[in-house]
Structure 1
Amino acid sequence: MKKRLSLLSLLLINIGVFAQNPAPASPQSKPIALVGGTIHVGNGKIITNGTVVFDKGIITAIGDANTNFDKNSTEVINVSGKSVYPGIIAPAALVGLVEIGSVRSTFDQAETGQFNPNIRSLIAHNTDSEIIPTVRGNGVLIGQTTPEGGVISGTSSIMEYDGWNWEDAALKKDDGVWLNYPTLIARQFSPEEAKFVVKKNDKYIEQKNELQVFFADALAYSEISNPNPKNAKLEAMKGLFDGSKKLFIRTNYGKEIIEACQMAQKYKVKSIVVVGGEEAELAIDFLKANNIPVIVSPTHRLPNTTDEGVWNPYKLPAKLANAGILTGLFYTEEFYKTRNLPFVAGTAAAFGLDKEEALKLITLNNAQILGIDKQVGSLEVGKLATIAVSEGDILDMRTNKVSHAFIRGKKIDLDDKQKRLYRKFADKFGISEK
């Protein structure tokens, strides 16, 4: 038995050696300058033949080819012919919480029960996930690790996609509470009819009333200066009423968007964000009047109803942004598909938005919505040097090829499991790597 256990241990060790992710990057040790590339600042501006200089993880200079810096003490990286972008930010992401879709034991995104605002997703964030390097390879360098399930899922945090552990990776801890607002109607797949069917939610009023009772209790609790004993669930809600946390409301239909936001306003929630918003165009006037941002569902989806225009999902980000609503984008569905976030923004660019405005949907706009725009989201002096360099257009799946990535100025190893597998079988079949 001992021999068998020893052999098994050696086998597992060997498997681990071959399957290891790249080690987290070391802190920046000297100034770095990216020169000669086309700089997409992230705020709508473009600098051709530009220069970005950063030191100790902070951008110290940005401008054209005449930008001054100490060339003797700076590592100069020539990125001529390439494009330089702010690191892409993925809100409402499951990266780091789910590892293998078919293995239930690797799911750590949901807690049992319906009201769990005290559940902190960041402590479940797995920095060793094989998924993280694959999303970095497309320029996604920051994500909002977000809980799912129940009525109030828990509290999200914003993570950099590099670090030894969640403490290293945390950019902003406990940024918001996530609410799944009850639906008036639900679209469900019917195996008998082999199609999606719409059904009324008979428990809508009951669910709504239960939610309002919880918010009323949370508001009353927040007004107690020194509660004794403390209630962990209600303690976690306090930030909604003093503005230190945002309320992210997952809801899609026009009427529900308005009702959900009005309920939050009734209970004095300071900062509200709508997530999903597939029918947000029906609530544009309300959203604009109340200065409520929307993180829109991916453009790569089918219409909800048979009478909805087939191109409507592609046009929605432009409709909201052009109406003056602060609009961001996220990628739902499978956790690993977060790497496709740049391409849903590219689709938005093809349906009503300028390319730089589309880029803002996944950089500066997302940063503003998440409250991290003083640190990231655009390439400006004083912000973190979280940067992606692509050989082509980062929004185009045909030309997006990230050659360099930096998180806080740290050089990120862009190798990943998929690239290792490609090299393995390319060698086997004599395929030259492009």
Structure 2
Amino acid sequence: MVEANSIRLWFRFFGRILFAPTKLSNRKMKNLKYIYIAVFVFISNTIFAQNQAAGSPQTKAIALVGATIHTATGQVIENGVIVFNKGIITAIGGVGTAYDKVNTETIDVAGKRIYPGLISPVNSLGLVEIEAVRATNDLSEIGGINPHVRSLIAYNTDSELIPTVRSNGILITQPTPQGEIIGGMSSVMQMDGWNWEDAVLKKDDGIHLNWIGYFKREFDFATGTASTKRNDKRDDMVRELDKTFNDAIAYAQVKNPATINVKLEAMKGLFDGTKNLYISADYGKEIIEAVQFAKSKGVKNIVIIGAEEALLAADFLKENNVSVIVSSTHRLPNNADDDTDIAYKLPYLLSQKGILVGLAYVGLNWRTRNLPFLAGTVAGHGMSKEQALQLITANNAKILGIDKMVGTLEIGKHATLIVSAGDALDMRTAKIEQAFIQGRKVDLDDKQKRLYRKYSEKYGTK
């Protein structure tokens, strides 16, 4: 619900516009007022069409009984029992697992499947609402190097897109700022809460760097064609990046700086291991170059994002203990002599090299709801279903540094989980029926479902 004071403010604002003195002609003023009225009607509809409320804290222990439990540890429990109280898993096991049945709400989920809440890293969910409307985009800031920019405070818990993604079992996201070189800091958010303070799971988990390539891709919207051109500004950009890191290293050595530099202050965590450095790089040579640069500056934790040609640098990545988050695998091969299914096999082949691999729909907001189906495709190209599940649960949790809280279903971890009527990694059978975030039961309704019900009634297709 929107408070009456907020509504009155909107009326007062537009009233001043509509009835303020003006030097415009009557005709122009009339047209202007029509425009403002149309805008006001649009905003009013937006105000009154809010999403469902956030889930209430768990007040009683809950036991889900009878489902097949996919723990994401490699263990699958048939006819299982999982109990959680005050948002924490207190018991998990097979039939006969003991729990206090008198003081516990028992929910029969026989024939269903239980999974950990899926984790979607590196996307713009909650930062972009309508891509074509600039006022709803809070994805980037002016300037090439912005390590101090925080996606945390821009995360919009009222986004209409969040419930549609949540309906596919994704309960944790990493809204990521974008930029030319250093976009800023991401945070890990739970996809339920009244505001970002409620939703945050891990603040400022890392800084995102777009590695400066030798070539750049450009798209001509007039002709609909893409081209690759040499990056003539690369040397200057690399020098600027090098200077920024050198300044940050020097600044980090000062215990109590007389003047706080917000950009350099944000980078301190890269050198003591409290923050990850996420580097977006696809080509083999650029991946090696980016890791060597970060290592030379004393960065502790490095994660490569995208990594389309990571196999060319796999041994190097393993030697340097670098994790990889593979971007969307639903794509064509980059090179004519690549296997046609190389993108689908990439997570499996990298994991065979001993690299910690996660999976993401990089950069996209609403399409990140298809993340479980990316994992399902990987399962058909080398990995088992349980290994593919780990890509979007346990492995992503380890990479983001939240594995002590979520990512697997184990005693002592958060009760962040989903109940599906079918295989959650198969788009043909996936149907998420229940979701819990820290034990809070989440409303799985969304705008698309409401529209479906509305027009099903209208046209009698129910």
Give the alignment's TM-score, normalised by structure 1: 0.95
The amino acid across from 1:357 in the alignment is Q
What is aligned with 1:133?
Answer: 163
- Distance in 2, matches of 1:150 and 1:406, equals 37
The corresponding residue for 1:396 is 426
- C-alpha distance 217-17 of structure 1, shift in aligned 2 (>3 A): closer
Asked if residue 412 in structure 1 is aligned to residue 439 in structure 2, the reply is no
Note closer, same or farther for the CA distance 1:53–1:209 as it changes in structure 2 (3 Å cut): same
The 5 A counterparts of 1:84-233 are 84-189=114-219, 195-233=225-263
Alignment deviations for residues 58-113 of structure 1 (CA, whole Å, 9 cap, x no partner) = 00000001100111111111111111000000100211000012211100010110
Q: In the alignment, residue 113 of structure 1 is paired with which amino acid?
A: G
SS, match of residue 299 in structure 2: coil
Q: Quick one: distance in 2 between partners of 1:403 and 1:239?
A: 40
Shift of 1:210: 1.9
The match for 1:24 is 54
For the pair 1:62 / 2:68, whether they are aligned, the reply is: no
Structure 1 position 245 matched with structure 2 position 275: yes
SS in 2 for 1:224: coil
262, 273, 279: which one aligns with 2:292: 262
Task: State which of 350, 373, 376 in structure 2 corresponds to 1:320.
Answer: 350
Q: Which residue of 2 aligns with 1:381?
A: 411
| 1:234 equivalent in structure 2 | 264
Residues 19 and 417 in structure 1, CA contact (< 8 A), matched pair in contact too: no
Query: Alpha-carbon deviations, 1:178-208, whole Å to 9, x = none?
Result: 1011012233345798654332223323322
Q: Does residue 303 of structure 2 align to residue 273 of structure 1?
A: yes
Question: How far apart, in 2, do the equivalents of 1:203 and 1:149 lie?
Answer: 16
* Matched letter for residue 247 of structure 1: L
The residue type equivalent to 2:346 in the other structure is: L
- Aligned 8 A contact 1:146 1:155 in 2: yes
Instruction: Write the distance in 2 (CA, Å) between the matches of 1:368 and 1:212.
Output: 29
Inter-partner Cα distance in structure 2 for 1:128 and 1:265: 39
CA RMSD of aligned residues (A): 2.1
Deviates more, 1:332-341 or 1:93-102: 332-341
- List gaps (5 residues or longer) in structure 2: 1-13, 20-36
1:16 Cα deviation from its structure 2 partner = 4.5
Q: C-alpha distance in 2, partners of 1:148/1:306?
A: 30
- Contact in 1 for aligned 2:145/2:179 (Cα 8 Å): no
Structure 2 CA distance for aligned equivalents of residues 358 and 427 of structure 1:
39
Rg comparison, structure with higher value: 2
Deviation of 1:43 after TM superposition, in Å, equals 1.3
- In the alignment, is the contact (CA less than 8 A) between 1:112 and 1:150 conserved in 2? no
Structure 1 276/8 Cα, relative in aligned 2: closer, same or farther at 3 Å?
Answer: closer
1:41 corresponds, among 71, 76, 82, to 71
Q: Residue 377 of structure 1: SS of its match in structure 2?
A: coil
Partners of 1:10 and 1:264 in 2: how far apart? 50
Greater shift in the superposed pair: 221-230 or 60-69: 221-230
Runs (4+) off by over 4 Å = 7-14, 190-195
Q: Give the residue type in structure 2 aligned to 1:140.
A: I
Instruction: Flag the 1:305–1:187 CA change in 2: closer, same or farther, 3 A.
Output: farther
Return the letter of the residue paired with 1:260.
A
Question: How many residues matched?
Answer: 432
TM-score normalized with structure 2 length? 0.90
| Fraction of identical pairs, as percent | 57
| Post-superposition CA distance 1:32-64 (Å, at most 9, x none) | 001100000011110000010000000000000
Tell me the alpha carbon deviations over residues 329-374 of structure 1, each in whole angstroms, 9 at most, x when there is no partner: 1102531001011011111111111110000000000000000000
SS in 2 for 1:260: helix
